[in-house]
Amino acid sequence: MKNLLLLFVSVVVLWLSIPLWAQEGSSKEEAKETSALEKAEKAKLGRWEGIVTGTHEDKSTVTVRRRNGFEQTIHYDSSTRWTSQEHHSQQINTIDASQVKIWDRVICVGFYDEKGDFHAALISKRLSK
């Protein structure tokens, strides 16, 4: 009985220590991929929705004003996903940046960088029925 208990405790301790060994090995691999991971870890996720008050294709930005009057410059790049969708609709359409115009209602999902700039991963144009 004593040997069985000792074996059980040994197995549990070994089982609990396996994740620690795996983390040590993966931390070396993560050090190589710091650029994208550092940005993601330092970034604060965000959402900004409102009416488009300006588009600047040369700067890859869209200015969006909330109902409370605050405006935010939304930065986008080639990885930004552009969609359009009607209210309460399940159908999502893929669009491009040129289809978003001034006075369109949009929802932007992305992150704030260390400077406080908002970078959009998704910009969804809201369509009225």
Q: pLDDT tens across 2-18, in order? A: 666 666 656 555 555 55
Question: Could you give the CA distance from residue 123 to residue 92 in angstroms, rounded to a whole number?
Answer: 12
Q: Which amino acid is at 88?
A: H
Domain ranges for the chain? 2-32, 44-127
User: The dihedral of CA 10, 12, 15, 18: what is its sign?
Assistant: negative
Is 0.85 surpassed by the pTM of this model? Answer: no
The domain 44-127 belongs to what CATH superfamily?
A: Copper binding periplasmic protein CusF (2.40.50.320)
Residue 123: is its pLDDT beyond 60?
A: yes
Looking at residue 12, what is its pLDDT? 53
